Structure 1
Amino acid sequence: MSDVRVRKLQEFIKQEVSQMLMRGLKDPRIGFTTITDVHVTGDLREATIYVSLFGSDKEKEDTLIALKHAAGHIRTELGKVLKLRHIPSITFDKDTSLDYSMHIESLLNEIKKDEEKN
């Protein structure tokens, strides 16, 4: 499949799923969530949606479970707007890049404080 087509589909899925989350899925377990990236396989059969979750650890886990539970509904809604023969199966995965960057920033701040003390 064309790399350009895959990238366009990834961006389209990202926008559509973000809109679905903003309009609100009717599951109260879904908290504040941001779609950070979408990866679609070259054959357009599978899509992994990376989400950034906010809240306590329990709220994050509940949100991820609720999103995984709603994957079928989201796939059905995507099927209504996508003009593809096969709609990709959807899996949700936690994007930890924000947590990692915050950890690196805190380490750099500690190093800076230690240098200022010496």
Structure 2
Amino acid sequence: MKNMGDGRRVARVEKEIQATIAQFLIRGFKTPLPGLVTVASVRMPADLRAAKVYISVLGSDEQKEEAIELLQDRAFEIQNYIGKELKMRYCPKLTFFADHATDQVLKVERILHELAEERKASGTSEDEDTDGDADSDEN
């Protein structure tokens, strides 16, 4: 069985592909993308022939879908740019996906902030209750 590669090499190539795509979006992408688009991550198998590109879009759901569609339609141009910038035996075939991890992180942070606000609002009454309970237990 053939050794399919080193995990460190795959991680390094993923990082380079991510940076190159981001560079293309800044410099070479002619069509303006809706919302604020970020290349969140890139995942590749050990053979480095395909790449799942996860895109984070700050904006509405419609803007997210539109940005993903635009990028997928222009994937060939991005692949050509990667082929010119990076010296690789094979240029990976790109597939774009929405990054939901960022949305989940923001949702968790919002929930934690709401809980902190609730604790702060009810914190003064709880402190008084615990002090009162402690005094009554001692008597």
**TM-score > 0.5 by shorter chain:** yes
Distance in 2 (CA, whole Å) between partners of 1:24 and 1:77 is: 9
Question: 8 Å contact 1:32–1:55 — kept in the other structure?
Answer: yes
Does 1:84 pair with 2:77? no
TM superposition outliers: structure 1 runs of 4+ over 4 Å: none
Which AA in structure 2 matches 1:116? K
Distance in 2 (CA, whole Å) between partners of 1:48 and 1:36 is: 11
Cα RMSD over matched residues?
1.6
Distance in 1 (CA, whole Å) between partners of 2:107 and 2:34 is: 25
State the Cα distance separating 1:29 from its structure 2 match: 4.2
Matching residue of 1:35 = 39
Does 1:73 pair with 2:94? no
Long gaps (5+) in structure 1: none
SS in 2 for 1:42: coil
Question: 8 Å contact 1:30–1:67 — kept in the other structure?
Answer: no
Does 1:109 pair with 2:113? yes
- The one-character-per-residue Cα deviations of 1:67-100 (angstroms, maximum 9, x if unpaired) are 1111111111111122222211101111122211
SS in 1 for 2:42: strand
> Which entry has the higher C-alpha Rg, 1 or 2?
2
Distance in 2 (CA, whole Å) between partners of 1:17 and 1:29 is: 14
Long gaps (5+) in structure 2: 123-139
Which AA in structure 2 matches 1:25? F
Which AA in structure 2 matches 1:101? V
TM-score (norm 1): 0.88
Q: What is the correspondence of 1:56-67 to structure 2 with a 5 Å cutoff?
A: 56-67=60-71
Which AA in structure 1 matches 2:54? Y
SS in 1 for 2:52: strand
Distance in 1 (CA, whole Å) between partners of 2:113 and 2:33 is: 35
